[in-house]
Structure 1
Amino acid sequence: MASMRAGVLAFFLTFALFTGTAAAQTLRAPSVTASEAFLIDAETGTIHYAKRQTRRVPVASLTKVMTAYVIREEADLDDVVRITPADVRYAAAHGATTGGLRAGERLTVRALLHALLLNSGADASHALAERYGPGTRRFVAKMNAAARALKLRDTRFANPDGLPAQGAYSTARDQAVLARVAMRDRVIATIARTKVKTIGRHTWHNSNKLLGDGVIGLKTGFTTAAGYCLSFVAEVRGHLLIGVVLGETTENRRYASALRMLDWAEERLQ
């Protein structure tokens, strides 16, 4: 695994204008350029890397992990949701990533979860929140109630999609805890590791470029305020590792930081 991942790391480092080799980086604590980062063993609780992990910051579309988690509590996978003009307008008005949904079409909750987690569709998150709040305000209240139940004391949601909003924040640590819980759900875990999914007229592509070579999830995010974010899950030497990268300056640096952290943990696990 290490040799294959080293090749991927070299690719991202080249485009991120990093220097040095992946092999050299495993000899010392990784140089992680993200503003906040955290990597933990989901089973033993061992913290492999921590950098400002309790600092409250916006987390962009990592928010949609909580949206999916709440939906799994509130909805049946075969429920059918009608997409409204407001769902489509919402995503367009905010310049958000969409799942390409059309007003009037009817999609199952299972399909909308794919649009939500693979394409990071704000139209899907809006449609789900409106149906299962009912209404976005009530749905966000459910998200915050779930955060309290999970003891995410430094997390507050203001919408179901992670678009910039006053008073919305989380931490690298809290997002790692959320990722750990979410990945225990077989549906979320299956979707998170899916690279491409076609349902009806829609084909959704996973935005997580790290998938493969042990990486099995979970979610990307970006806004100008939050920077490039990533919640990632990987199987390394028989251990399930949960990591979070927040506030990176470019997409490739986001992946490079995650790979450096994973290589460091793999070295420690030898």
Structure 2
Amino acid sequence: MRNGVIIALAAALVTAGAAAAPAQAAPTHAAPATTTPTQAAPTKTRQAPSVTAREAYLVDTMDGTVQFAKRESRRVPVASLTKVMTAYVVRREARLDDVVTITKADVRYATAGGAATAGLRAGERLTVRDLLYGLMLPSGADAAHALAERYGPGTAKFVAKMNDAAQALGLRDTRYANADGMPSKAYSTARDQATLALAALRDPVIASVVKTPKRVVGKSALHRGHVWRNTNDLLDDGAVGLKTGFTNQAGYCLSFAAVRGGRTYVGVVLGERSDKARFATARKLLDWVSEGAASEGATGGVAEGAGVTLP
């Protein structure tokens, strides 16, 4: 991850907790910078928290300082965090009012793989706006497949666009193989996923979607009714996103953003041992960095000694 990327992307967030109005036009993004994030010198003896996740990363988006890092550059599967990139690419390829027809292949793909679904049925016609909620809240692999088939066109071409976007964002240790994160040879890192989270949150539509607890889509002549609930329990603690993920191969994963003490932090937890543990780890990291800032009497700066890298 590049320090310039973090600061440039974070500047567009302004206040991460503010409501973001949906827009039709997809925003442009700053080109990746070439500098690295800064590590605050550990001149104090404040103990870093014990983290059970295999990989973890936490960044202060205000100045790009790394607050916590554990195996942040190790290439691992990231499960449904993949869908953050899917949403990112869709926002650059589609209009929110485009209508997508759900096919038998979309439904069969999700159910055959045992993936989470948005409960879509063949023949339904939904807008891209609605499908983004179906993609991100219940983590619907059926929604991911439908969007990839439409905006590749075809899944292979869509995945190529995902990898092109990863390269443009400077995600050097990321490779996608599908649009949903089902087990494959795909990989990423906690550090790359933090950079992607910032880029995604800069999009006002994605930022609005990922902090929504529940989305109700009323029945119409084009589709049946749907109620989608966000799988991100961290929203109950004031988080403003972003995405959960799980496969047996990847473990329990979480990409998150939250405001503490007037500062926005973005973090990633990968390979955690349980659903409950991933949220507990995220809360622990956020509480730790907040307490550190308070103990140092910070008024807009990070706590001295907060930048910690674990082997």
TM-score, normalised with respect to structure 1: 0.89
In structure 1, the partner of 2:40 is: none
SS at match of 1:95: coil
Partner of 1:238: 262
Q: Partner letter of residue 223 of structure 1?
A: T
Q: Distance in 1 between matches of 2:204 and 2:190?
A: 23
The aligned runs of 1:49-128 (5 Å cut-off) are 49-128=68-147
Matches within 5 A, 1:148-227: 148-166=167-185, 168-200=186-218, 201-227=225-251
Query: Which letter does structure 1 place at the counterpart of 2:145?
Result: H
Pick from 218, 224, 248: which aligns with 2:272?
248
- How far did residue 43 of structure 1 move? 1.9
Q: Separation in 2 of the partners of 1:142 and 1:103?
A: 26
Aligned residues: 243
Say what the alpha-carbon RMSD is for the aligned residues.
0.8
1:62: how far off?
0.1
- The percentage of counterpart residues that share the same residue type is 65
Q: What SS does the corresponding residue of 2:59 show, helix, strand or coil?
A: strand
Q: 1:42 Cα shift?
A: 1.3
In structure 2, the partner of 1:10 is: none
Q: Which residue of 2 aligns with 1:257?
A: 281
Q: Specify the code of the residue in structure 1 equivalent to 2:256.
A: F
Structure 1: state its 5+ residue gaps.
1-26
Q: Secondary structure at 1:48's aligned position in 2?
A: strand
**For residue 110 of structure 2, what is the amino acid of its counterpart?**
A
Matched with 2:26 is none
1:214 Cα offset (Å): 2.5
Q: Which has the higher helix share?
A: 1
Runs of 4+ in structure 1 deviating by more than 3 angstroms, as ranges, are none
Q: Which residue of 2 aligns with 1:5?
A: none
Cα displacement (A) at 1:212: 3.1
- Give the structure-2-normalised TM-score: 0.77
| Counterpart contact for 1:214–1:236, Cα < 8 Å | no
